[in-house]
Amino acid sequence: MPHVKPWLTFTEWGKKYGDILHIEVLGKHIIVLNSTKTATEILDKKSSVYSDRPVFPMAELVGLIKSALSRPIRN
């Protein structure tokens, strides 16, 4: 992950690999959208497909997934 002006690196990667990039940093997944068209399509038009709450495996293991805040948005 670039530390200085990451948007410049993401722009170069976008030219090389396309509008949607996936980066994994320390086990965290990062999605970079390199065009307004792609961002609008995914974040506005298809938000119900791609939106959800984060999963907390330890909370599931100890039975703390009872609250409405930790349940998935979709059924």
0.75 cut: is pTM over it?
no
- Residue 12's pLDDT is 92
Reported as a single tens digit per residue, the pLDDT across 14-73 is 999 999 999 998 988 988 999 989 888 888 877 777 666 666 777 767 766 665 555 555
Which helix (H) or strand (E) element contains residue 33? strand 28-33
Place of tokens 């938000």: 47
Backbone φ and ψ of 61, nearest 5° = -65, -35
